[in-house]
Structure 1
Amino acid sequence: MRFGILGPLEVRTDTGEVVAVGGPKPRALLTALLLDAGRVVTFDGGLNAVQARVSRVRRALPDGLIEFTGGGYRIAVDPDDVDAHRFDRLAREGRRLVAAGAHDAATTVLREALALWRGPALVDLPEAEAQVARLEETRLSAVEDLVEAELATTGTSVGRLRELVAAHPFRERLRGQLMRALHDDGRTAEALAQFEEVRRLLRDELGVDPSDELSAVHLALLRTGQPARRGLGTALTRIIGRDEELTRLAAPVRLATITGPGGIGKTRLAVEAAGRWARDVCFVDLSALVDGVQVPHAVLGALGVREPGFARADPVDRLLAELRDQDTVLLLDNCEQVLDAVADLVRRLLSACPRLSVLATSREPLGLTGEVLVPLEPLADAQAVALFAERAAAVRPGFTAGPEVAELCRLLDGLPLAIELAAVRLRQFDLPELVARLREQDHFRLLSRGDRTAAERHRTLRAVVAWSWHLLRPEEQQLARRFAVFAGGATEDAVAAVCGSDDALADLVDRSLVRVRAGRYRMLDTILLYCGEELVAAGEEAALRQAHARYFLDLVHRADPHLRRAEQLDWLAVLSAEHDNLVAALRWSARHDPPTALRLITGAAAYWWLSGRRDEVAEVAATLLDDVPEGFEEEYVSCVVHAGSRASDAQRARALDVLRSLDRPLRHPFGAAVWAMAHGPGPRLPVQLLHGDPWNAALERLGEALIELVDGHPAAGEKSLEDVLARFRRLGERWGTAQALDWLAFAAGRRGDWTRAHELWERALALLTELGARLELVDVLCRRAECLVRQGEWAAAEADYRRAAELSARPDAPPVDLGLAKLARLRGDLPEARRLVDRVRAALAAGDPIAVLLRTGIATESARLAPPEQALPRHREALDNPMAGGVADGLEGLAGAVDDGERAAFLLGTAVALRGAAVVGDPDVSRVVDRARDVIGPEAFAEAYARGAGQSREQALAVVEEELSAFRR
């Protein structure tokens, strides 16, 4: 809470709401407590009366704020939350800065301090005369300090000083300041007259002479020297990462304006560039000005123009007279809050002074003809890292930039000021902790300590952004805070739809708060955080988040049908540009509006899959599976698919029941139609679910073809896949086309047609790369790698597995690990093979649906790595697979574990009967064949193999059941 006692007692909540305290006595009690905030205060009077007043105050304030202790009462608030204490602190800080010569910073601090006064102090505590006198004296001293700072920078108002001197005629410091101000305004005679007046007053009223300090001011005026022109000074650090901009500003121009948001380094660049021009440069800081009328006076002050005789002249005329024939550069810093006045003055000066150049810094351009704009962007990654490393080394000697520095700089948007403020915090935090805190978006609290001598607006990150915020008009502030709901930027249409209007958008761009690239509007994350706080404070967040979620739900619904047609790349690009917004809308909806979240996951299912991002929504999808809302059956199934391993067996079973119960075509078929790809083969989807749409029909045909291919009918499956390929090609749909090409390649590779297989895989990979379907690329690369292993191209196979691992959303992708485990075993690296198989088995135990699909491979590979006495049971375990192709793989593994050569040949033939064809080139099968032939001879092997291969499907399954029975016993 915030408390005010510099004026009538005022209590406000953190959101600005006024809290009523009660009558005079409770107000007096609370004022007394606040005057000694944090300390125990005792009160005179009857105990019951004091307790009654305390009770009334407590009812108005949060619980526990007023404590009884040590015979008195204490209010448990930070003294800085009380305006009188905050004023004392700021007044002390301002005086220290004045003494240190940091006049710009002092001006800001002292103005903030004096602005806290709303009227006479402690009006609700009449008996506090001594405290009131102290506060008033401190206030007057702060006024004098402020005048001192203004005299050293922009100048001060003579009229205001005359009023102060009239009110306090014996204060010699004020009198001396008035004398200096008059002299600075070219009115030295009037200044000397002031000294004579105060000398007579002191003698007549007090019988004393003026102090040594005032006499020194008088003597200086008599000598009347010309004040020095304000130059650039010497930078304490080197500039980093602005080579391109410095090249643009290598030669002087008539007018150049460096633009960009606060903290981007405009002033530093301007000083560096002007310092290289080999011309007389006058630096003019306009940051403290609030009125355009002050601009020419500030320039005069910086130029050191104090000559007598101009008392009645227009300040602009005085500037023209001074600069008309001078070869000078005016560096006008921080023009944004008096932009119109600066633009008008610069136009007049440049028109009349042919040898004058102006270099300005501002959040927005001056808008003059011939103005050269130098917009500043955040530092590139390498430049930002270099800046942090240099500043960090100054704070922590020996500092070496590690990989975390690049992330830190990205979290800070590459803003130089933010990076420098972060480097300072290395005095307190190690680098990993600093990065962790920034990940939690603790930017403003963390970066709250900067250069004590810097202007207030540059001491903290919050102050940098607040400076720009307070210069905005109300309608611009409204749009800026509403823009904070967007993650990753927005189009103009999205801004208008979600924020209610985009009328002020161009103004925010001009003021460097919003950037636009290729029709897309963005805020730096730092500015976005500040605007987000303002959105919450305004009480608009819930409504804006709802509007944001609904807008992007509408967008994915409009995009969905296009993602299954030839135009899918265009619409994928649209949704990819909005990815951050989609995820933000989904996460907010999952917490506050689950129906919208269910629709978002389902409506964007094609996007999640085609772009390889389906794993990114798994965690959110899993939070929506507790129930099946009426009317959201299809959405529930889609969420189960996207939840992946996070969905329980019961939830998968419920989803399958829901699918069977649906009696209408799917509104968004992609989410439910990929059921088999996510959870393995099972009962076919009811025909009506995929009815009525060519893409649905092609997908249904793909499912049928795959079942034929892996369930013992490879020739029929391959023929069906050719039909699927033609269907998807007619639609121009790349994902389905790539699926058909991939499985046709799989079929060709299994029968040994290597050339055709790799041609088909290349085409499939090209289409999936074009789509950006990262996870599908993983699957295809793994299938191609399996084929390369059978070809004996082990190095190429490992390269495919390694690339698949890089593309995978998880470092322990089971298909990749299983393939690498086989390669390691074939090469003789059994420890590595066991490590990888154990990792896949752990995924299977955790319920990973992908690992379940690889059950046979896991069991077979485990068996080949097991001691001989454990191998046979594990090979029999591998037969537990719902697909004939998987059972055939298990039989081939089992054949390698039996001691009977004739039995091994028979099992290998039985695998062919189940699969419908032999797989060419499998090194493990080849070893079994060679060993069995050596034991029983080629003819006996051929006879046993043919006997197994000649079985009917039912006979082959009976053989499998016999082996499984032995395993179960």
Structure 2
Amino acid sequence: MRFGILGETKAWRDDGAEVPLGGPARRALLTLLLVHPGEVVSVDRLAEEVDPGGELSAHAVQSQVSRLRTALGQAAAIERAGTGYRIVVEPEAVDTSRFERLAGQGRAALRDGDAEQAVVLLREALALWRGPALAEITEGETARAAAVRLDELRLGALEDRFEAALRLGEHRAAVPELRALVGRHPLREQLAALLMRALFAEGGQAEALVVFEQTRRRLAEELGADPSAELISLHRELLSSEAAPAPAAPPAQLTSFVGRASELNETVELLRVARLVTVVGPGGAGKTRLAVELPRGGAEEVCFVELAPLRDGTALPQALLSALGLREGGLHLDSARPPLDRLVTALSGRALLLVLDNCEHLIEETAALVARLLASCPRLRVLATSREPLGIIGESLQYVGPLGEDAAVRLFTDRAAAVRRGLTADPALVRRICAALDGLPLAIELTAARLRTLEIADLAGRLDDLLGIAARGTRTADQRHRTLRSVVAWGWDLLSEPERQAARRFAVFVGGASAEVAAEVCDADGGTLESLADKSFLQVGRGRYRMLETIRTFAAEQLAAAGEQDMAGRAHARYVRRVVRTADPHLRTARQLEWLPVVSAVHDDLPAAVRWAVAAQEVPTALELLASASAHLWIRGTAASIAPHAAALLRTIGERPPAGLGEEYAVCVLLAASGTGGQPLWQQHRLAAERALAVAWPGERAGRYPVALLAWMLRSAGQSEAEERRSAFELVSAQRDCPEPWARAVARYVSGFGFLGTGDIPGAERAFTLAGEEFGALGERWGAALALDMRAGLAAGRGDRVEAVALTDRALTLAEQLGALEDVADLLVNRGDQYAADGRPEAAVDYARAAELATGAGSADALAAALRGQADLALSGGDLVAAERLYSEALERIDPRWIKALANRVRALAGLAHVAELRGDHATAQLRFRTAAGTAAEVGDGAPAVLRLLGLPAAVVEALNRG
């Protein structure tokens, strides 16, 4: 007989039949006896826990035991022993014993590294649970203690099972259940750690960090405790990994790869000896699929960039930065580096295969960009797909033409079997169909999908009518293109009208869409979308629908022919606007990390929505899209990618803001100015935009987009005109009593610079501290990081290096959470400077990590700062050769136009002067000190004090004064 007390108490005979146990008192009695099989439970304990607070007599217990014996029969003996009873059964007969044995074995297998066996054992153990342990007894000390112990063991087994699953790569399946468990057990750190790891493995770095923050807050509020060392260590590991964004992966494929094995192998071999390989062939030949398959056996790191959605070749560098997961600027918004320079820096020492898919419409711009990158980045390899070669030196070509007869038949048969199980067909008929389709893989796939509703003989007959089966010689690319287009058009004609409507409207999506969003924008139901996927008009991968570019081009033509471009464009823009509008207020709160990925999901579709709105003269829609997305663009450092569209909108608007949209107009000016060559636009529209912003934010009431205030101040701070900086300062400072809390915090932050300008260092420190506290109260990280950075600089300026390091640590955590690599590198250099001043070895570690991060971020200025720090260490260690080389490398990379780089430029120049002085070359030393002093004088009359605040040690300032 078997017994179960992990849930409702039950007993089963060996044949599986359930034993009727009777009423609740009898089941409770059996439960107590089974908690510890073979152990005596006193009559008093049985009476007390079966009927808490009642007056169950010893006689009544004896009566219930007698009835229980009758129910169980000879299979289990309940014996009288002294003053109590015990049940005599084998431990394995009780589910609790089996559970504990299996859970222990599963944990041992996990400890031994056998995750697969661990999963099997732990799942078997957990399957024994049918509900709460000891469910028949709700009160009583013995039962309560036993139930708590069993529940703890169950949670431990669950944690072990998830640990094993994560080791086997089953992250996605684990996330929903882990979320639910963390919700039920918010103080259980191991569950939180497992959820963080699962989320991170699925690309949800921000979500993983949110889980840590929520757990940390709960522990503090409910237990007054900090997270464990293990959870803190995991948090740091995730932050470190967050600072190294993963390149865009190739799109997921749900079908087998058929018929291109030889071309695949040839391309792999070409890439072993050539740094640029272009896969050339007609549309529909399978160039993209070959490129998708190639990385599986190729380079260690791959970045896949789809160029088909791009309409302007000038956006190529931004597209590559985005695909690499890199920001276009730091949190200060003041880097003047063009995107191409950042790309070169980021890729200069990186071993990477860059896949550029569908280059033909931007062939000249792509060729120029690839030539520059290959010349500057020796470890970079490029695989391009195009209908024509790039035409640059060193290019190797891999031609992809129609499939051979046998390969075409295999592809058709494979795809046909997917839609028609058990299909048998005359091989000659299949060959005839593939010949009619010119062996083009896309045409074959679209045609095979028709077998869901057509017989193969009917399919062949229709193709005869459509294409003709006359004997063909060698086909030209143009003829094959007509064949493919005819097949697409034929497949299109066979779609139902709801399917055609959904397909043509889907053409407005650039980055694909989830089923829910596609249904909304296309005015279609889920069944229609699934049918389009079945017929190969849509592809499905990673939970999203996407459309092959060949089909998307055809669908876009049908959209125009149907006169639905504005209808679909408006629906698409409405969806994107809703997402960015909804997210915007959350980006200034503690939920910032939760909402940043939400907007990132529509990042590729934002430019398309703005482009439609500009073309359709929907100025309010375009302005609202840009303004609502602006906080995300600035926080994520991707504003430059939208700058061309903002500039196009400004050309439509002119210099007069539309009525009621002055604030949106000001945001548009800021975004347009963030792109390469944006300075003329800034000067042209600045005054009108500033007036509009002042009207929107008068001080006593709030405008709509508080982040515009900080962006306006940061943009103006980098300008050369003192009047421009002053007016921006006054505009933002006026928000000190604004009802919008984030705007008030910005005003506190900006007022700190006013105190600095008058030399009131204590006043500045009070202002930055108050700003940081107000940003912190909101849980917002961008503003808090900026305020902490300024406070750290002030602490360093007064010689309090312990405080400077502590503040920098806090700023680092926030910058890392935002993925701001450039700012992380800057902060590491700042901390390294404090360590170096105390002679601590950690300085070298910080400088080295800063150099690595700066290179990965493509930030030449941050890299220059790290090199300058390393040069300082070399100089203090007496290695003059290394010091001179590192200082010189730093100066080569520093942008002299960037105000934030001034301190490092001065320090590098002064360092070179020291090198010359130590070598006894006093004339060169004097000359270099004068150059450094002249550079420092760019700050103005208060140069020494300001340079100290920028991080220059007193010895350097003194040397500059001498110079």
TM-score, normalization: structure 1?
0.45
Larger Rg: 1
TM-score, normalization: structure 2?
0.45
Higher RCO, 1 vs 2 (CA within 8 Å, ≥6 residues apart): 2
